[in-house]
Amino acid sequence: MKKVPLHTRIFIGLFLGVVAGLILGPKARNIEFVGTIFIRLITMVVVPLVFFSLALGTASLGDIKKLGRVGLKTFLYFTLTTAIAITIGLSAANLLKPGTGLNEQVKQELLKNYQQAAQSKISLVQEKPSLISVLVNIVPANPVKAMAEGEMLQVIFLALIFGLCLSLIRPEKSKPILQLFEGINETVLQVVNLVMKFAPYGVLALLASIIGQFGLSILVTLLKYALVTILGLAFQALVIDGLLVRFLGRMKPGRFFKGISDAMLIAFSTSSSNATIPVALECLDELKVKKEYSSFVVPLGATINMDGTALYQGVAAVFIAQIYGIPLSLAAQATIVLMAILASVGTAGVPGAGMIMLAMVLKQIGVPLEGVALILGVDRLLDMCRTTVNMIGNMAASVIIHRSEEKSTAGQV
């Protein structure tokens, strides 16, 4: 097994997980804890990894102007790609009309069966946060609390300030700190390597328990909706991200996708952008994307840039409206674009978060919130797919930001 590359082993784990889930059915739940341990292990390194690698990257950048420029570019790129993603979602749903053909009886059954689960999601919907409060919340009042609670934007802010100030103090003072940080960073990366050896088993257990609990009949009922979403997601990842990496990042898409395959598999099986951050950083390192860009773009993107989630919200909103027979005007669709961009900022990179934000989108366009019950049955499967696309988008962004800042292309440096 030693010589088999890791991504192949993870893939085998994924495949065996599906088989085990089909054979064991709901009993597969008994091995879920193996997957949970894996997710906890990989999540354990997220905060230290983001803090130390970003602080180091910023310190080596040491240029506030460059920092501002990279920040602005990243932000514009994120907004643009999210807008493209949601437009693809809306177009696919308008063209392929997944909501037609679902009869009244099935609708009532779905509403009844998933009512309770939907209510618990809806109860989590908060009022749309104001832009000001989002901005204020980026600044941590207490750095320890920010880290302890894994507030990613606050941790990023801390690392940026800390790294910048490290570059401003006298070298004899900063040198030992930089050396210490480098040592810690290396160690944390070593932890990631170690944990990833366990990935095939974790992935096997996760997939087995998801498939074991998944009703095949619900997938058949919602097949059209699931297929339209997956088609849209595949288009976003393979065509849009592929082209962007090719032309803006100057990297062959084949090389890109091969290089990030570990991260794609982990995103798919954990449904969590946050848990995928460490592996994504490793993959980008192998692709020779400089850490000063990847350690900024990836954690920030995992928190605020979710192309897959935005696309899914477009499809889901139109689907639910179609089932309720509510026509969506152009203005309503424009509201969806805006709301989904905001929602993608507000969605946490954890499983199922996109669903809660979807309820917020529905509220804005006057579609009954209970409608989320209609799609809950297949949400986990779609969550796996959209999380993968979320992280592909963030890794593509890193390649592109690297290319736009450096004269050389990633991989040639």
Which residues lie below 8 Å from residue 121, measured CB to CB, with a gap of 6+?
Answer: 352, 355, 356, 359, 372, 376
Shortest distance, CB of residue 169 to ligand ASP, whole angstroms?
37
What mask, x for binding ligand ASP by CB under 6 A, covers residues 345 to 364?
--x-xxxxxx----------
Binding to ligand ASP (CB under 6 A): which residues in 291-330?
306, 309
Minimum distance from CB of 330 to ligand ASP (Å)?
26
The answer to whether the Cα torsion of 143, 145, 150, 153 is positive or negative is: negative
DSSP 3-state percent helix, strand, coil across the chain (nearest 5): 80, 0, 20
Helix (H, G, I), strand (E, B) or coil at 69: helix
Binding mask 54-83 for ligand ASP (x = CB under 6 A): ------------------------------
Q: Which stretch binds ligand ASP (CB under 6 A): 91-99, 117-125, 267-275, 283-291?
A: 267-275
Phi-psi region of 150 (alpha: psi -120 to 50; beta: other; left: phi over 0): left
Q: How far is CA 376 from CA 81, 118, 394, 401, in A?
A: 26, 7, 26, 36
CB of 105: closest distance to ligand ASP in angstroms? 29
Tokens of 291: 């850490």
Q: Which is nearer to ligand ASP, 166 or 397 (CB)?
A: 397
First to last CA, the chain: 32
Residue type, 304: I
Q: Which of 390, 392, 400, 410 binds ligand ASP (CB under 6 A)?
A: 390
Asked if 269 is part of the footprint of ligand ASP (rule: CB under 6 A), the reply reads no
Using CB under 6 A, count the residues that bind ligand ASP.
Answer: 16
From the CB of 311, what's the least distance to ligand ASP, in Å? 10
CB of 262 or CB of 383, closer to ligand ASP? 383
Sign of torsion, CA 398 404 407 409? positive
Query: Would you say 59 and 163 are in contact if contact means Cβ atoms under 8 Å apart?
Result: yes
- Within 220-239, the residues that bind ligand ASP by CB under 6 A are none
Nearer Cβ to ligand ASP, position 350 or 361?
A: 350
H helix and E strand count, the chain: 22, 0
Query: Hey, how many other C-beta atoms are within 10 angstroms of the C-beta on 292?
Result: 25
Q: How far is the CB of 61 from ligand ASP (least distance, A)?
A: 27
Q: Least distance to ligand ASP from the beta carbon of 221, Å?
A: 21
Residue nearest to ligand ASP (CB): 354
User: In this complex, which beta carbon is closest to ligand ASP, that of residue 221 or of residue 390?
Assistant: 390
Q: Residues in the site for ligand ASP, rule: CB under 6 A?
A: 271-273, 306, 309, 347, 349-354, 383, 386-387, 390
